[in-house]
């Protein structure tokens, strides 16, 4: 007998063999209201352990959170169907549910809650709580929703979650006693990274349009791409080969690079001031909304942020070593590493060029730094950066300098010199939003206040010029909220050095302001992770574009299968983001194409198009604006024998019903796309 057969036989022994009227009445209550059985004993423990009551109640909630999150991750890995969904003759006493079966989260959570109190060494309490946990686990099999192995695995993992939680707690206490900021940071980053893994796998957000676009780039590795350098595609190529074409596969690097950014900023702040300053700056990277977002969503800003912070650290070390006798070889090594880092930054985002501008201004403004002009190190850095960036130049030479044309379009250079107070206000408002108002004000003050110190001058010149540049740019044309991202890395160290380092001895008003700034940033970041709690109608929700793509992919896959039965089919959209999302979320990740109507150029125009697919049928969905819709219908009339419109509706994770027009078009005539007009 195989293990699966034994598991099934054991399941039926409990589910049907032990069937009786008393269990039929009691077990559904236990499985649905098991928490009511725990509460009296937890209350008794709190009464008896007055000193430890609050810490252990918090630990209990933390253990349940870790257990529940870990269980959800494992369910998606194992993807084992529930017995009530696949076996016949199950005595089902509650709703079966649609989630997977291995492990049982009820067993996980129950044993996590029970075992967390074991260190109190109260035998009667431990026996009662463990017994209740076992009863809850047993009930899951009896009511027909889990196999015995599911609850056994859940029990073991729940006990492990309790042990892990208590271990972290005792570790945190030891860190507090030793005041070890290095250990505290590792502790924090471990928790945050584990949460992000769980959140990406089980959270509410589909891939963003940019993430899906970069994923399509990774399917066709190249030396550069239409709008960006190749770093993002190269990284996704590696992570998806490790973890598959999944959301976690696309986003895995976001977690890694965010944690590394904090560690490097900690080291820089420590070397410039002290451990406490570095710790404060490293924590800000994790709680500020803009930076926290790039710890989950993987856009070009994730590697760009990392390489900017790494370059800050290497430049500081290089110029410090350069000034110390007998350390010229070490300094040269740092300049070489800086060249590699800045080169990788340029491959991530062209804004990295502002690092060189800030470095130049710093070397001109600071008397001690001017000696660097006489050293070979900075010139070696620039040369290495250009060597690393050269593939982008070569690629653009072969493709008509499309990246330069696109960047010029994004910067609104064709608009000429103009003044727009509205764009300036939008830029300032966006910075208040992505950094949070109080913290942004404190950051600007701190950068200004520390500018006359040796270390402070370095922070000032790697923060203020970037903020000012984009502020002035916003007067001439629209600036996106994340474009000034680089300015805040050095600013976080300035905030930590000026405000957080001596917070305990600060005056009441100053302390309250700093605490408020941190709490607001944390609150905004937490709320952004749970979009359902924002009281906004789903159709007007600011995050609505991050939900629904998976469901649309399922609907389109069904239509694709229907049409594929009649002959070869290609997928078509009139915008790159929907074409990319469809390629990712449709079954089998089909190659998609982008119709060239009323839009600027994108990467799809560089890849082989659909003009040669003569005789194929097509499945199309796109934008709804009237001008594009009319142009699409006109094109369809010329390009296909006929098209049938189908309205597809689906529910997003924000629980709003979304509707799209999908066209089923037949017998493509091989018409070439129209000319490119915009970049």
- In angstroms, rounded to a whole number, what is the distance separating the alpha carbons of residues 285 and 291? 6
Element (H, E) at 594: strand 592-594
pLDDT at 566 over 90: no
51 falls in which pLDDT band (50, 70, 90)?
low
Asked whether 147 and 8 are in contact (CB, 8 A), the reply is: yes
Q: What is the pLDDT of residue 343?
A: 96
pLDDT at 416 over 60: no
pLDDT at 606 over 60: yes
Which residues lie across from 286 on neighbouring strands?
none
The reply to whether omega before 579 is within 30° of 0 (cis) is no
Question: What integer is the mean pLDDT of 48-75?
Answer: 76
Q: What is the pLDDT of residue 121?
A: 73
Task: Kindly state the percentage of the chain with pLDDT values over 90.
Answer: 30
pLDDT at 629 over 90: no
Q: List, as one string, the DSSP characters of 113-138.
A: HHHTTGGG--HHHHHHHHHHHHHHHH
165 falls in which pLDDT band (50, 70, 90)?
confident
Which residues lie across from 391 on neighbouring strands?
none
- In angstroms, rounded to a whole number, what is the distance separating the alpha carbons of residues 115 and 161? 9
Q: What angle do CA 215, 545, 346 make, to 5 degrees?
A: 40
**Residue with tokens 């082989």, as numbered in its chain:** 608
Q: What is the pLDDT of residue 141?
A: 86
Q: What is the pLDDT of residue 604?
A: 87
Residue 619, SS3?
Answer: strand
Q: What is the pLDDT of residue 380?
A: 95
pLDDT digits (tens, 9 = 90+) for 85-144: 888 888 888 887 777 888 888 888 888 888 887 777 777 777 888 888 888 888 888 888
pLDDT digits (tens, 9 = 90+) for 340-376: 999 999 999 999 999 999 999 999 998 888 899 989 9
- 39-43, 301-305, 487-491: lowest mean pLDDT where? 39-43
Q: What is the 3-state secondary structure (H, E, C) of 428-454?
A: HHHHHHHHCHHHHHHHHHHHHHHHHCH
Pick the CATH number of 3-178 from 1.10.606.20, 3.40.190.10, 3.40.50.300, 3.40.50.10190: 1.10.606.20
Classify residue 595 by its DSSP letter.
-
Asked whether 107 and 155 are in contact (CB, 8 A), the reply is: yes
Question: What integer is the mean pLDDT of 397-418?
Answer: 70
Q: Which of 228, 361, 239 lies closest to 299 in space, CA to CA?
A: 228
Q: What is the pLDDT of residue 542?
A: 63
Tell how many helices (H) and how many strands (E) occur in the chain.
Answer: 27, 5
Q: What is the pLDDT of residue 53?
A: 63
Residue 649, SS3?
Answer: strand
First to last CA, the chain: 65
Q: Which residues contact 26 (CB under 8 A, 6 or more apart)?
A: none
Task: For the chain, give every domain's residue range.
Answer: 3-178, 181-529, 545-668
The model's pTM is 0.81
**Length of the chain counted residue by residue:** 679
Asked whether 314 and 342 are in contact (CB, 8 A), the reply is: no
Q: What angle do CA 134, 137, 140 make, to 5 degrees?
A: 150
Q: What is the pLDDT of residue 248?
A: 93
Question: What integer is the mean pLDDT of 164-168?
Answer: 84
């Amino acid at each position: 007998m195989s293990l699966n057969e034994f598991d099934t036989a054991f399941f039926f022994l409990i589910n049907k063999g032990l069937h009786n009227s008393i269990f039929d009445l009691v077990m559904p209550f236990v499985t649905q209201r098991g928490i009511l059985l725990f509460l009296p004993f937890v209350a008794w423990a709190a009464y008896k352990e007055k000193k430890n009551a609050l810490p252990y109640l918090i630990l209990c909630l933390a253990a349940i959170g870790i257990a529940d999150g870990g269980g959800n991750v494992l369910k998606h890995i194992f993807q084992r169907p529930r017995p009530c969904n696949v076996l016949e003759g199950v005595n089902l006493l509650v709703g079966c549910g649609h989630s997977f079966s291995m492990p049982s989260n009820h067993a996980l959570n129950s044993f996590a809650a029970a075992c967390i109190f074991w260190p109190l060494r109260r035998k009667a309490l431990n026996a009662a709580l463990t017994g209740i946990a076992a009863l809850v686990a047993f009930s899951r099999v009896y009511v027909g929703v889990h196999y015995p192995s599911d609850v056994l695995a859940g029990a073991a993992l729940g006990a492990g979650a309790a042990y892990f939680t208590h271990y972290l707690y005792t570790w945190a206490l030891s860190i507090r006693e030793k005041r070890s900021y290095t250990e505290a940071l590792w502790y924090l980053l471990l928790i945050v990274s584990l949460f992000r893994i769980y959140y990406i796998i089980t959270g509410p957000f589909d891939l963003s349009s940019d993430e899906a676009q970069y994923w399509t780039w990774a399917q066709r590795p190249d030396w550069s791409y239409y709008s960006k350098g190749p770093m993002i595609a190269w990284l996704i190529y590696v992570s998806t080969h490790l973890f598959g074409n999944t959301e976690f596969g696309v986003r895995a690097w976001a977690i890694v690079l965010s944690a590394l950014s904090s560690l490097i900023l900690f080291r820089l702040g420590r070397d410039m001031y002290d451990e406490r300053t570095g710790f404060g700056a490293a924590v800000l990277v994790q709680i500020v909304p803009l930076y926290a977002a790039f710890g989950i969503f993987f856009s070009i800003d994730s590697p760009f942020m990392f390489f900017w912070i790494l370059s800050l650290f290497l430049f500081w070390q290089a110029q410090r070593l350069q000034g110390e006798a007998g350390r010229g070889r070490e300094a040269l090594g740092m300049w070489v590493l800086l060249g590699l880092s800045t080169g990788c930054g340029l491959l991530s985002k062209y804004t990295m060029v502002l690092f060189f501008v800030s470095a130049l201004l710093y070397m001109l403004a600071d008397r001690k730094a001017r000696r660097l002009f006489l050293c070979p190190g900075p010139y070696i850095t620039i040369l290495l950066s250009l060597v690393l960036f050269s593939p982008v130049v070569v690629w653009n030479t072969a493709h008509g300098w499309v990246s330069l044309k696109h960047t010029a379009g994004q910067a609104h250079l064709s608009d000429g010199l103009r003044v727009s107070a509205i764009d300036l206000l939008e830029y300032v408002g966006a910075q208040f939003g992505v950094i949070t108002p109080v913290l942004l004000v404190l950051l600007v003050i701190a950068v200004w206040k520390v500018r006359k110190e040796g270390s402070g001058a370095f922070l000032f010149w790697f923060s203020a010029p970037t903020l000012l540049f984009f502020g002035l740019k916003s007067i001439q044309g629209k600036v996106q909220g994340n474009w000034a991202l680089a300015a805040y890395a050095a600013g976080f160290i300035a905030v930590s050095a000026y405000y957080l380092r001596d917070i305990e001895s600060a005056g009441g008003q100053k302390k309250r302001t700093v605490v408020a700034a941190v709490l607001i940033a944390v609150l905004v970041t937490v709320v952004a992770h749970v979009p359902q709690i924002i009281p906004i109608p789903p159709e007007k929700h600011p995050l609505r574009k991050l939900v629904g793509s998976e469901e649309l992919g399922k609907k389109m896959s069904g239509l694709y299968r229907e049409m594929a039965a009649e002959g070869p089919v290609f997928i078509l959209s009139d915008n790159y983001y929907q074409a990319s999302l469809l390629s990712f979320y449709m079954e089998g990740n089909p190659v998609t194409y982008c119709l060239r109507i009323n839009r600027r150029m994108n990467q799809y125009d560089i890849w082989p198009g659909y003009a040669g697919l003569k005789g194929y049928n097509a499945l199309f969905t796109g934008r709804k604006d009237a001008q594009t819709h009319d142009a699409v219908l006109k094109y369809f009339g010329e390009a296909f024998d006929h098209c049938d419109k189908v309205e597809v509706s689906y529910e997003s994770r924000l629980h709003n019903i979304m509707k799209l027009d999908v066209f089923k078009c037949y017998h493509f005539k091989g018409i070439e796309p129209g000319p490119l007009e915009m970049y």
